[in-house]
Amino acid sequence: MAAGRVGLAAVMIAGIAPWAAVAQPAADRINRDPVVASIEGHQIRLSDVTRATASLPENLRSLPFDTLFPTLVERVIDHQALVRQAVRAGLDEDPIVKQEIVAATERVLEGAYLAREAVAKVTEEAIKARYTQQFANRSATEEVRARHVLVTTQQEAQDILAQLAKGADFATLARTLSKDPDRQHGGDVGFFRREQVWPGFADIAFALAPGQVAPAPVHNEFGWHVIKVEERRLVAPPSFSEAREALRDELTAEAVRQAVAAARAQLSIRRFNLDGSEIGANLAR
């Protein structure tokens, strides 16, 4: 459930970007947003041209805006010319087009609302406070890099330990005998912190020195694991600059979830089955 809600927040965040500066006073935006062209009396502003930058191939976007400006103006004029002709042709009255216009309007409103209610709360001070909460005064964290072979029975695991005692290569046995997907990498699960793996695995891995194989296999719901530690290291907490973007995304996702929950709480919501009957309507019967 939590992962699903994070995913929903990420989707919603994607629609916020054009509205990140929504709190800027309207008069100030207009003063800085001059008319750069018009078509049939419709004004094309600098902001329209700036947004058109996203339509350019990626290799052109890094060019100076002054260089791109004439081309972008023509693109916006082309766009508006087609829009005007579509209206003249009555396409704005087509039922399907109307539905798409409503959907587009709703996406814009959603982004604008979340920019005001969620993004505005993710200030630099909030990011710094979250960094302090998570990382300040935290000592370096120990990480272990390990391999394992996962088999179905305890006897299979004991047989693998016997082969290792005779000099067999751990990675080769993992590729041949393990039923875990990481068999492709010789059973290598990479570096991990103690809290990132299940306790039984962690207890063994963090008790071994590099190059050591656990003397006995350990069991969980997936089967029997033979474990070898390859490396150990201490990892210092990230600097603020290293953690800033991840913390900003984390805070934004939280703010989006809170905004969605608050919006739902203020509205009457009903749900219906595919046959049109209301869900929960007959629970009292």
Classify burial at 206, counting beta carbons within 10 Å of its beta carbon; exposed 0-12, middle 13-18, buried 19 or more. Answer: middle
Q: Dihedral (C-alpha) 191, 193, 195, 198: value to the nearest 10 degrees?
A: 30
Spatial neighbors of 5 by CB under 8 A, at least 6 apart, are 257
CATH class of 141-235: alpha beta
Q: Which amino acid is at 138?
A: R
pLDDT string in tens for the chain (285-residue length): 344 444 555 555 555 555 444 444 444 445 689 999 999 999 999 999 999 998 888 888 889 999 999 999 999 999 999 999 999 999 999 999 999 999 999 999 999 999 999 999 999 999 999 999 999 888 899 999 999 999 999 999 999 999 999 999 999 999 999 999 999 999 999 999 999 999 999 999 999 999 999 999 999 999 999 999 999 999 999 999 999 999 999 999 999 999 999 999 999 999 999 999 999 765 443
How many Å apart are CA 215 and CA 112, to the nearest integer? 60
Q: Where are the beta strands (DSSP E) in the chain?
A: 35-39, 42-45, 141-151, 188-192, 218-220, 223-235
How far apart, in Å, do the first and last CA atoms of the chain sit? 30
pTM of the model: 0.61
Residue 147: CB atoms within 10 Å = 22
**Structure tokens that stand for 211 in this block:** 């190059």
Range(s) within the chain of domains with CATH label 3.10.50.40: 141-235
